[in-house]
Structure 1
Amino acid sequence: MKMKIGAFLVMSMLVVSVGAVMLNKTERVGPKISLSKANFHIEKEVCKSYQTYNDILRPKMIATLGTDIQITGQETDEIHPAIANDNSGNVLIGFEADLRGDGEYNVWFTYSPDGGATWAENAIAWQIETPELPSVDYWGEGNRFFGTMVPNPYEEDGSILYLMECTNPADFEEGYTLVGWTWSDVGDGYYNFVDMAIACDDGVENWAWGGVSIIGDHGSGLIQTPFFSYQFTEDGYAWIYRWSTGGDEFTFEYCQSTTMDIDPVTHMAYPVWNYLNPETGVLDLLFSKFDFGTWEPYDSYQVHPEVGGGLINTSVNDQNIDISAYNDNVIIVSQTDEYGNQDITCYYSTDGMNSVGVSIIANSSDDEMYPKVVHTGDNTAVCIFVKNGNLYQSTTEDGGATWSEPIMINDVSGTVEEDYHTADVCKLGAIWTDNRNGNADLFFDSVGAFAVISIDSISGGFGVTATISNIGNAPAENVEWSIDLEGGLILLGKHKEGVIPSLAPGASTTVKTGFILGIGKTTASVAADGTTAQASGFVLGPFVLGMK
């Protein structure tokens, strides 16, 4: 059943001029690039309508464990996976499949509770016209994930922005919901969405989940042009942006892929698109930068301020792009064709895209394709890509300036599908489409060697105690932690911090506030190596009661 709420409201045009930014060239071999000033004419409109989808579908999953962990094993194909992890070892995935055996493909979501070692024997989808190409991300706190997917072109002219929210990956009865905004009737119409990427952030209110970058058509005559959308009120109002209008002297059109990430430290959002440069005939990159850590007024509404952006112009085609951002280190990976075949190129920045360098991740005589990238810490990241039917990983420890020699991930050679969105990566591992069993199944394996810090629990009693674990596959060294109490009257013990000298993979330890003294409701905020968690309780003298 669909429930439609509200009506559409069209807003006026906003014109933004973005200042010039400088190019930081690298000495490594790679395509020549320029990072240029972009005079963006950004127009945005608002939608006050969303739909709630209540018709849920449920299948049975098949999981077979091995060195490469097989997630699905149906006789039909499971393809185009997306993956994200939280700070407690939960891994959420979305993928396309016919899990009911009725010949109808859908986008399904399921999870692993233990970093990918085992997988739930259940999944969830909704009774909607066949969508494709899911994208998922972790919100930043608790076990909350969000996802989206490309709508069917025959449902609302392919104009629905789906938003899947997961508040508890283990709860397939009430832990997953789906809503959608329809954009075909807004202004001149936004429709025929062909690629989408979601990025999430907890920088402001709980209902503000993040944003989605989109490629679609516009009623002014634009074909496969960049869009960007996010919710800006608790009751569901949402903006949609575009970067050009039909009839402009210079238009951003014929995009092939889009990507987006939000820096969890600075809360800066970076949507990116490739587009066909009408002056050079090659696929160049357009990016923008929004502050998702604040709102500023716009007419009678509010917006995340647009604080930067530009064009990365090269002499090569940039395809199948992906991005990761952490603490102003921004890494964009791209499939390029400088030498006639396909290679993997990195565009990296250490100052929030004010300057950009270029490096090569892989450029053998074979085709390297379909890169994905994720940060694993400050200036450290892992990139995966496909070559000759195999999935490879390469890592950087200097923010993208140099990359390690690629290492093959899959154990059975030549079985990885070579297709757009064939693989994805998160901190805890990579997921890919594999044909070793005669059809396309999903497989998972860990990548790289790095620590992943998790805050497992926060409890009360005599003060506040937090359990901190390393759910990664490498030792964690000098883990800085802190506990802060906010609210109530705290006379002693409001703040405590320290350093865990070493934490082995799979190991846990507890940290404590020690003696506190106060009274009233309070919230304990725990931070460890960039991971945060909160719990609330009641302080009564030296005791904390009812912590949850």
Structure 2
Amino acid sequence: KVPFEIKKFSTKATATLSGNILITDGMPEDDQWPAITRDQYGNIVVTWTHQASPVETNIGLAYSSDGEAWTAGLITLDGAPMYSDIAYVHGADFEGGGDFTGLWGVYGDIANDQIGFYRIADITDDSTYEFYTWQTTYEDITYCAIADNTWYNEFNYDITGPTNMYIYHEVYQQYDIPNCPTHWYTDGETTAGGVGYFDAQSRLKTAPAFDPDMACLHDNDPAQTESDYVLLTWQHDNETTGHSEIVLKKIVPEIEPDIEYTPYQWYIAKGDTFDAAHPNIGASGSNAVVVYMCSDNVFGDWDIKCAYSSDDGMTWQTSTVANEPQVDEVYPAVYMSGEKAYCAYIKQGNLYLVESDDGGATWGEPEQINEVDGAVVAEENSVDIHPAGVVWTDDRNGNKDIYYANVAAAPAIAISSISGGFGVSAVIENVGTAAATDVSWSIDLSGIVFPSHREGTISSLEAGESTKVSSGFIFGLGPITITVSAGGATKTASGMAFGPIVIGVK
């Protein structure tokens, strides 16, 4: 655990017609590489790297309850912390690792060659901020990545808690791997340390690695199962072909926690005559999309492509997100909600948003987000997108600033409860930021019970609203398993059936 200092700034920004909000008001130096999430209290939270000088850096943190009034701060640590990324975690949903609920971030100290992490129980209370570094040193740290809902058990050393990626120069025994991709597991209680696996590349050539991203998926069982997995992606520069390609690794910790030995690893974009670079991943339910830059066209300019999967990342197809001829579209970011995907990318100094309604197979027309033409900084990790909004690096004020816009509103369906009584009922809630329509739902019962299946459709469910669905009349005897599915969400419970009555649902 390491000491820190925080300098806070507050700003009340009025959204422009296009809704652009300056987060880094009062910070004249450069701010870049933003990341965004939302905490358990509904606060929008943004982190970034503040570059005060070539040798002085800070971790930037800002939060807002409404997207307009922001409290921002600069975290000073020993050394030069950079590449901050942040996620929301809820350890109480899982077995092991404690029940920490809040924000979990990662960073690299390039001055002291140390990788680190931080956790924040309440972003509004800096007494809950905790910063840590690992004791071993790692040279040439270049990237750090983490994703919402990361919480897994690593069975070799029995470490349970958040996982994340770092890229650095790995030197260990006979290995000497520059720009090596690594995947770390950290104890959620911060008492048992952690374990990091590096990719020694016995299965797939993946280094030198650049620009990693990840997505975390779980079922509703607090105990870890083979349905709990992590999707990792990054850019690999192929030194044989001279071209970059996209790596995808699916880590199922219950099967194999080691990034090197996972049985699920592929190139999802690769060619001998073109480059595929700077991937960004989003996932929801069994759906996943990886958006990336690709020069596979007659002009050789950058387009935005999408690799998409509907079977938990096991097979992939490709679509085109944006491909204006002889114009570069670059540095995409994406998130998913159900089958809807939202991709932001940069073209000619402007930020665009485009949506898919079918899991990434097809894409609509782009909408410009920034209102000052040419002000969006076209560099890697310049943009991040989340159900809470989009953030980007912008130089309209003469230096690099972080801007926010409340766009990409989307529904997000959750099953908040399952209960018994006469039959089985479930409460389905829209926890997203836009109305949901035509939400299919089903209740499936296993055991000695009939009928065992009931389904229906919710025609409309506004953001923040909930509704109850029911199995109707059933007749059963003994223990039953209840599985409720709705809009890409699934929740499982168990109970006891005595004729038409179900009790002890948990």
Tell me whether the two structures share a fold, i.e. TM-score over 0.5.
Answer: yes
Q: Distance in 1 between matches of 2:204 and 2:320?
A: 30
Among 53, 56, 70, the alignment partner of 1:120 is: 70
Letter in 2 for 1:314: G
One-letter amino acid of the structure 2 residue matched with residue 123 of structure 1 = G
* Cα deviation, residue 390, structure 1: 0.5
- Residue in 2 aligned with 1:367? 328
Distance 1:470 1:232, change over 3 A: closer
Q: Is 1:106 the counterpart of 2:62 in the alignment?
A: no
The CA distance in 2 between the partners of 1:162 and 1:72, in whole Å, is: 24
Distance apart, 1:307 and its partner CA: 4.6
**Shift of residue 404, structure 1, vs aligned partner:** 1.2
Task: Output the amino acid matched with 1:198.
Answer: I
CA apart distance, 1:431: 0.5
Q: Deviations over 1:471-517 (max 9, x none)?
A: 513356649699xxxxxxxxxxxxxx999764434x5568799xxxx
Amino acid at match of 1:193: I
Q: Deviations over 1:368-418 (max 9, x none)?
A: 1111111122x2111111111100111112221111122111122221111
Q: Is 2:244 the partner of 1:283?
A: yes
Q: Distance in 2 between matches of 1:212 and 1:319?
A: 20
| Partner residue, 1:314 | 271
Alignment equivalent of 1:254, drawn from 185, 205, 208: 208
Give the match for residue 263 of structure 1: 217
Q: Does 1:81 align with 2:34?
A: yes
1:270-302, Cα deviation, whole Å (9 max, x unpaired): 12222222332211222222224x488x9xxx9
Residue number in structure 1 paired with 2:14: 65
Contact 1:57/1:127 (CA < 8 Å) preserved in 2? Answer: no
Question: Are 1:88 and 1:455, in contact at CA under 8 Å, matched by a contact in 2?
Answer: no
Q: Secondary structure at the match of 1:286?
A: strand
CA deviations on 1:31-84 (whole Å, 9 max, x unpaired) are: xxxxxxxxxxxxxxxxxxxxx012232222334221212222122222211111
Provide the C-alpha distance between the structure 2 equivalents of 1:287 and 1:253, rounded to a whole number of angstroms. Answer: 13
Which residue in 1 is equivalent to 2:500? none
RMSD: 3.9
Counterpart mapping for 1:15-414 below 5 A: 52-66=1-15, 67-74=19-26, 75-86=28-39, 89-97=42-50, 104-114=56-66, 117-123=67-73, 125-140=75-90, 144-152=102-110, 154-155=111-112, 158=113, 160-174=114-128, 176-184=129-137, 190-201=138-149, 208-219=160-171, 220-231=175-186, 235-244=191-200, 251-265=205-219, 266-292=227-253, 294=254, 306-312=262-268, 313-315=270-272, 316-339=274-297, 340-364=300-324, 365-377=326-338, 379-414=339-374
Query: Aligned with 1:360: secondary structure?
Result: strand
Q: Distance in 1 between matches of 2:33 and 2:316?
A: 30
- Partner of residue 21, structure 1: none
1:456–1:469: 8 Å Cα contact kept in structure 2?
A: no
Superposed displacement of residue 447, structure 1: 2.6
Tell me the residue number matched to 2:387: 427
What is the distance in 2 between the residues matched to 1:233 and 1:472?
Answer: 29
| CA shift for structure 1 position 426 | 0.3
Q: What is the total number of aligned residue pairs between the two structures?
A: 429
TM-aligned CA deviation for residue 192 of structure 1: 1.7
Unaligned runs of 5+ in 1: 1-51, 185-189, 458-464, 483-496, 514-525, 534-548
Contact 1:123–1:172 (Cα < 8 Å) also in 2: no
Amino-acid identity (%) = 24
Taking the aligned partners of 1:532 and 1:180, their CA distance within structure 2 comes to: 37
| Greater RCO (Cα-Cα under 8 Å, separation 6 or more) | 1
Closer/same/farther in 2, CA of residues 194 and 511 from structure 1, 3 Å limit = same
Contact 2:85 / 2:107 at 8 angstroms: preserved in 1? yes
| Cα-to-partner distance string for 1:518-544 (whole Å, 9 max, x where unaligned) | xxxxxxxx99867899xxxxxxxxxxx
- Per-residue deviation at 1:346? 0.9
The whole-number CA distance in structure 1 between the counterparts of 2:428 and 2:315 is 40
C-alpha deviation, 1:103, in angstroms: 9.0
SS of the aligned residue for 1:173 comes to: helix
Given the superposition, is the C-alpha separation of residues 328 and 194 from structure 1 closer, same or farther in structure 2, using an over 3 Å criterion?
same
Q: TM-score, normalised by structure 1?
A: 0.68
> C-alpha distance in 2, partners of 1:165/1:295?
28
The structure-2 alpha-carbon separation of the partners of 1:94 and 1:349, relative to structure 1 and needing over 3 Å to count, comes to same
Specify the SS of the correspondent of 2:71.
coil
Unaligned 5+ residue runs, structure 2? 94-99, 220-226, 418-425, 444-454, 471-483, 492-506
Name the CA shift for 1:208/1:500 in 2 (closer, same or farther; >3 Å): farther
Q: Residues 118-168 of structure 1: CA distance to partner in whole angstroms, max 9, x if unpaired?
A: 34324352422122222112225696221112321x30xx2x231121222
Q: Distance in 1 between matches of 2:188 and 2:456?
A: 38
Q: TM-score w.r.t. structure 2 length?
A: 0.73
Whole-Å separation in 1 of the counterparts to 2:5 and 2:163: 24
Pairwise CA distance, 1:250 = 7.9
Looking at structure 2, the residues matched to 481 and 352 of structure 1 have their Cα atoms a distance apart, in angstroms, of 20
CA contact (8 A) 1:70 1:443 kept: yes
Per-residue displacement from partner, 1:167-209 (whole Å, max 9, x unpaired)? 22222222x211122443xxxxx43221121134365579833
CA distance 1:530–1:355, change in 2 (3 Å): closer
Once residues 192 and 102 of structure 1 are traced to their aligned partners in structure 2, the CA distance between those partners, rounded to angstroms, is: 16
In the TM superposition, residue 439 of structure 1 has moved relative to its aligned partner by 2.4
1:467–1:400 Cα change, 3 Å: closer
Structure 1 residue identity aligned to 2:116: Y
SS at match of 1:415: coil
Contact 2:307 2:319 in 1 (8 A): yes
